[in-house]
Amino acid sequence: MFTLKKTRFLCATLAAAMMVSSAPVFAGNSTGSLIVTATVLASCTVVGSTIAFGNYSSAQVDQSGNIAVLCTNGTNYTIGLDAGAGTGATTSNRKMTGSLGGNLNYALFRDTGRTNNWGSTTGTDTLAGTGSGLVQNLVVYGRIASGQTPLAGVYTDTVLVTLTY
């Protein structure tokens, strides 16, 4: 017969053997797929700067400003500028309004030579581009023509920038 000492030894040996040989045994395997998706929506934002012409004394003044555009990479867009808030203004003859009355005419262009008016008719006088996912700075070229005789004062206007995508 087994003694208590031999029984304990046998149990300890069996327990140790089971722990060593307790690695899982697999009968086979199977594979499947995990589908991962995402949708990137086209989006754009636009911010205009200030065009500060400075002092005007009947001589032509040229100045420029920027429009910052941020569109999703590959998104096509157009930028249009309205006539501004001046009474009687058009996109080809904008008008700043004076603090003491009167108007000061000016124009906004898409090119450094100031020959391509920047208006709001898509395909005619707007600017087209494609987003890169990074901020794109577009230059707005402004001109106050010579020979005007406005009243003294501070002249301002607000032009609405419309980004279509």
Q: What is the pLDDT of residues 125-136, one digit of tens each?
A: 999 999 999 999
- What pLDDT does residue 15 have? 57
Alpha-carbon torsion (3, 4, 5, 7), positive or negative? positive
Bridge partners of 70? 45, 135
Contact 151, 101 (CB under 8 A): yes
- Indicate the helix (H) or strand (E) that contains 10: helix 4-20
Can you tell me the distance from the alpha carbon of 45 to that of 164, in angstroms, rounded to the nearest whole number?
10
Would you give the DSSP letter of residue 117?
B
The separation between CA 131 and the C-alpha centre of its own chain, rounded to angstroms, equals: 8
Does the pTM exceed 0.85? no
> Which band of pLDDT confidence, cut at 50, 70 and 90, is reported for residue 1?
low
- What pLDDT does residue 117 have? 98
Bridge partners of 78? 128, 164
